[in-house]
Amino acid sequence: MRWKPVVAVAVLVAGVVAGRLTVFDPVRVSSGSMEPTVCTGDVVVVDHLAARRGLGVGDIVTFPSPADGAELIKRIVAVGGQQVEIADAVLLVDGRPVPEPYVDAASIDGVYFGPVAVPAGTVFVMGDDRELSVDSRAYGPIPVEEVDGRLTLTLWSSCPG
Protein backbone atom coordinates (compact mmCIF):
# COMPACT_ATOMS: atom_id res chain seq x y z
CA MET A 1 0.00 0.00 0.00
CA ARG A 2 2.96 2.36 0.50
CA TRP A 3 3.84 2.26 -3.19
CA LYS A 4 0.58 3.96 -4.28
CA PRO A 5 1.62 7.46 -3.09
CA VAL A 6 5.03 7.01 -4.72
CA VAL A 7 3.43 6.02 -8.03
CA ALA A 8 0.98 8.92 -7.80
CA VAL A 9 3.81 11.41 -7.23
CA ALA A 10 5.85 9.89 -10.08
CA VAL A 11 2.89 10.18 -12.45
CA LEU A 12 2.28 13.77 -11.35
CA VAL A 13 5.94 14.74 -11.86
CA ALA A 14 6.02 13.03 -15.27
CA GLY A 15 2.87 14.92 -16.27
CA VAL A 16 4.32 18.27 -15.21
CA VAL A 17 7.59 17.61 -17.06
CA ALA A 18 5.76 16.47 -20.20
CA GLY A 19 3.51 19.53 -20.01
CA ARG A 20 6.48 21.87 -19.77
CA LEU A 21 8.17 20.25 -22.74
CA THR A 22 5.09 20.74 -24.86
CA VAL A 23 4.58 24.37 -23.75
CA PHE A 24 8.19 25.61 -23.75
CA ASP A 25 10.71 23.93 -26.03
CA PRO A 26 14.34 24.72 -26.78
CA VAL A 27 14.85 25.02 -30.54
CA ARG A 28 18.04 25.37 -32.61
CA VAL A 29 17.60 27.96 -35.38
CA SER A 30 18.59 26.67 -38.82
CA SER A 31 18.10 29.80 -40.91
CA GLY A 32 19.72 33.21 -41.12
CA SER A 33 16.56 35.05 -42.18
CA MET A 34 16.20 36.71 -38.76
CA GLU A 35 19.81 37.97 -38.51
CA PRO A 36 21.03 39.98 -36.69
CA THR A 37 18.32 39.35 -34.07
CA VAL A 38 18.34 35.53 -34.22
CA CYS A 39 21.21 33.81 -36.01
CA THR A 40 21.81 30.39 -37.53
CA GLY A 41 22.79 28.06 -34.69
CA ASP A 42 21.11 30.06 -31.91
CA VAL A 43 19.23 28.06 -29.30
CA VAL A 44 15.96 29.75 -28.37
CA VAL A 45 13.00 28.87 -26.15
CA VAL A 46 9.65 28.77 -27.94
CA ASP A 47 6.32 29.19 -26.10
CA HIS A 48 3.78 26.97 -27.87
CA LEU A 49 0.76 28.58 -26.20
CA ALA A 50 1.58 32.04 -27.54
CA ALA A 51 -1.24 32.20 -30.09
CA ARG A 52 -3.80 31.45 -27.39
CA ARG A 53 -2.41 34.29 -25.27
CA GLY A 54 -2.49 36.74 -28.17
CA LEU A 55 0.08 37.77 -30.73
CA GLY A 56 1.26 41.25 -31.53
CA VAL A 57 3.42 43.30 -33.81
CA GLY A 58 7.08 42.72 -32.99
CA ASP A 59 6.62 39.16 -31.72
CA ILE A 60 9.06 36.65 -33.19
CA VAL A 61 7.07 33.53 -34.00
CA THR A 62 7.46 30.03 -35.41
CA PHE A 63 5.14 28.31 -37.88
CA PRO A 64 5.28 25.66 -40.60
CA SER A 65 6.32 26.92 -44.03
CA PRO A 66 3.38 27.17 -46.43
CA ALA A 67 5.73 25.81 -49.12
CA ASP A 68 7.14 22.66 -47.52
CA GLY A 69 6.11 22.47 -43.84
CA ALA A 70 9.62 23.20 -42.52
CA GLU A 71 9.60 25.19 -39.28
CA LEU A 72 10.19 28.91 -39.89
CA ILE A 73 10.93 31.79 -37.54
CA LYS A 74 9.92 35.36 -38.48
CA ARG A 75 8.81 38.67 -36.93
CA ILE A 76 5.17 39.79 -36.98
CA VAL A 77 5.13 43.21 -38.69
CA ALA A 78 1.33 43.60 -38.99
CA VAL A 79 -1.86 41.92 -37.80
CA GLY A 80 -5.31 41.48 -39.30
CA GLY A 81 -6.93 44.75 -40.34
CA GLN A 82 -3.66 46.54 -41.01
CA GLN A 83 -2.04 47.48 -44.32
CA VAL A 84 1.62 46.72 -45.07
CA GLU A 85 3.99 48.12 -47.65
CA ILE A 86 7.68 48.76 -48.17
CA ALA A 87 8.68 52.02 -49.86
CA ASP A 88 12.37 52.41 -50.67
CA ALA A 89 13.35 49.96 -47.88
CA VAL A 90 11.09 51.59 -45.25
CA LEU A 91 8.36 49.41 -43.69
CA LEU A 92 5.04 51.25 -43.60
CA VAL A 93 2.11 49.93 -41.59
CA ASP A 94 -1.15 51.79 -42.14
CA GLY A 95 0.87 54.41 -44.02
CA ARG A 96 3.20 55.17 -41.09
CA PRO A 97 6.93 54.33 -41.05
CA VAL A 98 7.94 51.67 -38.53
CA PRO A 99 11.32 52.08 -36.81
CA GLU A 100 13.34 48.89 -37.36
CA PRO A 101 16.88 49.31 -36.01
CA TYR A 102 17.54 45.58 -36.60
CA VAL A 103 17.00 45.83 -40.39
CA ASP A 104 19.91 46.81 -42.65
CA ALA A 105 18.02 49.27 -44.86
CA ALA A 106 21.08 49.80 -47.07
CA SER A 107 20.89 46.15 -48.20
CA ILE A 108 17.33 46.63 -49.47
CA ASP A 109 17.56 50.24 -50.65
CA GLY A 110 15.22 50.71 -53.59
CA VAL A 111 12.91 47.84 -52.57
CA TYR A 112 9.17 48.41 -52.92
CA PHE A 113 6.33 46.07 -51.96
CA GLY A 114 2.57 46.41 -51.59
CA PRO A 115 0.47 47.86 -50.21
CA VAL A 116 -1.23 44.69 -49.01
CA ALA A 117 -4.20 44.43 -46.65
CA VAL A 118 -3.75 41.83 -43.89
CA PRO A 119 -6.96 39.80 -43.49
CA ALA A 120 -8.56 39.31 -40.08
CA GLY A 121 -7.26 36.23 -38.26
CA THR A 122 -3.84 36.41 -39.93
CA VAL A 123 -0.43 37.95 -39.29
CA PHE A 124 2.06 39.33 -41.79
CA VAL A 125 5.58 38.11 -41.04
CA MET A 126 9.01 39.14 -42.32
CA GLY A 127 12.57 38.18 -41.52
CA ASP A 128 14.87 40.84 -40.13
CA ASP A 129 17.36 40.04 -42.93
CA ARG A 130 14.96 41.50 -45.50
CA GLU A 131 17.28 41.00 -48.44
CA LEU A 132 17.45 37.20 -48.01
CA SER A 133 14.22 36.37 -46.16
CA VAL A 134 11.41 34.46 -47.86
CA ASP A 135 8.36 35.54 -45.90
CA SER A 136 4.80 36.88 -46.20
CA ARG A 137 5.89 38.97 -49.16
CA ALA A 138 6.23 35.65 -51.03
CA TYR A 139 3.63 33.36 -49.42
CA GLY A 140 1.13 35.80 -47.94
CA PRO A 141 -0.17 36.31 -44.41
CA ILE A 142 -0.12 33.37 -41.96
CA PRO A 143 -3.34 32.29 -40.23
CA VAL A 144 -3.01 32.86 -36.47
CA GLU A 145 -3.98 29.23 -35.80
CA GLU A 146 -0.91 28.09 -37.77
CA VAL A 147 1.48 29.99 -35.48
CA ASP A 148 2.87 27.28 -33.23
CA GLY A 149 5.15 29.30 -30.99
CA ARG A 150 6.64 32.62 -29.94
CA LEU A 151 10.29 33.17 -29.07
CA THR A 152 10.53 33.91 -25.37
CA LEU A 153 14.23 33.60 -24.63
CA THR A 154 17.57 33.09 -26.34
CA LEU A 155 19.56 30.48 -24.42
CA TRP A 156 22.64 30.68 -26.61
CA SER A 157 23.48 33.05 -29.42
CA SER A 158 25.96 32.56 -32.23
CA CYS A 159 25.39 36.08 -33.58
CA PRO A 160 28.57 38.09 -34.06
CA GLY A 161 29.25 40.88 -31.61
pLDDT higher for 32 or 8? 32
58-91: pLDDT as tens digits = 999 999 999 888 899 999 999 999 999 999 999 9
Q: Catalytic one among 31, 33, 133, 136?
A: 33
Q: Which fold has domain 24-156?
A: Umud Fragment, subunit A (2.10.109)
Any idea which of 18-22, 45-49, 52-56, 135-139 has the lowest mean pLDDT?
18-22
106 to 65, 87, 131: CA distances (angstroms): 27, 13, 10
**Catalytic residue status for 33:** yes
86-111: pLDDT as tens digits = 999 999 999 999 999 999 988 888 88
Structural domain boundaries in the chain: 24-156
pLDDT bin (cut points 50, 70, 90) of residue 12 is very low
Q: What is the mean pLDDT of residues 23-47?
A: 89
Q: Are 30 and 38 in contact, with CB atoms under 8 Å apart?
A: no
Global pTM? Answer: 0.83
